[in-house]
C-alpha cells in the first residue's frame, strides 16, 4: 500500500496552478497579436483553474513546513521557506483579485483597465517564477546545503520535533516495547525474532505516529495479510508512546 506524506502530496499538486499562471500572459499576448478573443477566454478559464488549485496547494504547503530543516537547537522554518510561503500566499491573493476583477467586469476590460489586468497577470507570473525558484533551492540546495529534509532521512530528533513528540513519551514507548512480546517476532537493534519485519529502522518506512497507532489497533487493515495480533487493548497513552518510539527508529 502506498503511503504518501504531505511533502510528497504538495510536490505532486503545486505544479499545476503555477503552470496555469505562467502561461496566462502568453494567451493574453496572443489575443492581442493575433486578434483572437478566444485566447482571452482561455486565459480566463486558466485563471479560474489556477485559483481553485491554489487553495489545496497552500494548505499542503503550510503542513509541509513541518518538514523543514532545524536551524541550531530550535525547531523553526528556514529563511528560504518563510519567503517561499510569503510569496505563495501573495501569488494566491493577487490571482484571486485578478479573477474577481475579471468576473465583475464580465471579462470585458478595455483600454487602461485591460492594460492593468494584463500587467497584473505578468506580475503574478513573475512572483510564481520566484516562488518556484526558491522552492527548488529548498529541495535541491543552492550548492551549499539543502534546507529541506525529506522525512525519510530525518534524524529521530527531527522526527520527534516534526510530530511534536515528548522525549519522555518516546522513552516510555521504548520501555513498553521491551515489556510487550514485540521482540518475539521483530528484531530491534540486532536482537529479537525474525518472523516479523525488522523494526530497527522502522521510521524509514513509516514515520507517522498516527499510522502506527492505527496499525497497532488493526494490523490487517493497515498491512493486508498481516499476521500480527491487535494491540487495541492498550491504553491510549500506551498506544501513543509505542507509536512515538516506532516512528522515530532510524
Q: What is the pLDDT of residues 168-205, one digit of tens each?
A: 999 999 999 999 999 999 999 999 999 899 999 998 88
Segment 213-241, tens digit of pLDDT: 999 999 999 888 888 999 999 999 999 99
Segment 78-101, tens digit of pLDDT: 677 788 889 999 999 999 999 999
Q: Is the pLDDT of residue 151 over 70?
A: no
Q: Is the pLDDT of residue 3 over 60?
A: no
> Which of the listed residues 149, 180, 197 is the one where a domain comes to its end?
149
Alpha helices by DSSP H, the chain? 6-13, 15-33, 37-64, 79-104, 111-140, 156-162, 167-179, 209-217, 219-222, 236-247
Q: Are residues 81 and 124 in the same domain?
A: yes
- Cell numbers that stand for 80 in this block: 528560504
pTM for this entry: 0.57
Give the range of the structural domain holding residue 240, as residue numbers without chain letter.
Answer: 152-247
Q: Are residues 141 and 156 in the same domain?
A: no
Does 1 map to a domain? no
Contacts of 13 (CB under 8 A, 6+ apart): 53, 56, 57, 60
* pLDDT at res. 70: 39
Helix 79-104 vs helix 37-64: crossing angle, to nearest 10: 150
* pLDDT at res. 155: 59
Q: Are residues 119 and 96 in the same domain?
A: yes
Does 205 map to a domain? yes
Q: Are residues 10 and 75 in the same domain?
A: yes
Q: Are residues 130 and 174 in the same domain?
A: no
Q: Are residues 224 and 235 in the same domain?
A: yes
Does 236 map to a domain? yes
Q: Are residues 34 and 79 in the same domain?
A: yes
How many domains is the chain built from? 2
Amino acid at each position: 500500500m502506498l503511503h504518501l506524506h504531505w511533502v510528497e502530496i504538495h510536490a505532486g499538486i503545486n505544479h499545476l496552478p503555477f503552470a496555469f499562471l505562467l502561461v496566462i500572459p502568453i494567451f493574453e499576448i496572443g489575443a492581442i497579436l493575433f486578434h483572437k478573443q478566444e485566447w482571452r477566454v482561455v486565459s480566463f478559464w486558466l485563471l479560474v483553474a489556477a485559483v481553485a488549485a491554489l487553495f489545496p496547494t497552500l494548505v499542503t504547503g503550510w503542513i509541509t513546513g513541518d518538514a523543514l530543516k532545524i536551524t541550531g537547537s530550535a525547531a523553526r522554518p528556514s529563511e528560504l521557506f518563510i519567503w517561499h510561503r510569503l510569496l505563495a500566499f501573495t501569488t494566491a491573493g493577487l490571482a484571486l483579485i485578478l479573477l474577481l476583477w475579471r468576473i465583475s467586469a464580465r471579462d470585458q476590460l478595455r483600454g487602461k483597465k485591460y492594460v492593468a489586468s494584463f500587467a497584473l497577470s505578468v506580475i503574478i507570473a513573475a512572483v510564481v517564477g520566484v516562488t518556484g525558484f526558491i522552492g527548488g533551492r529548498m529541495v535541491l540546495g543552492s550548492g551549499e546545503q539543502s534546507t529541506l529534509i525529506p522525512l525519510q532521512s530525518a534524524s529521530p530528533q527531527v522526527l520527534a520535533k516534526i510530530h511534536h513528540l515528548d522525549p519522555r513519551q518516546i522513552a516510555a514507548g521504548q520501555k513498553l516495547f521491551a515489556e510487550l512480546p514485540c521482540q518475539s517476532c521483530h528484531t530491534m537493534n540486532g536482537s529479537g525474532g525474525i518472523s516479523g519485519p525488522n523494526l530497527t529502522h522502522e521510521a524509514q518506512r513509516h514515520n507517522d505516529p498516527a499510522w502506527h497507532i492505527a496499525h497497532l489497533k488493526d494490523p490487517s487493515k493497515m498491512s493486508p495479510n498481516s499476521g500480527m495480533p491487535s494491540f487495541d487493548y492498550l491504553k491510549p497513552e500506551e498506544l501513543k508512546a509505542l507509536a512515538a518510539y516506532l516512528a522515530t527508529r532510524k
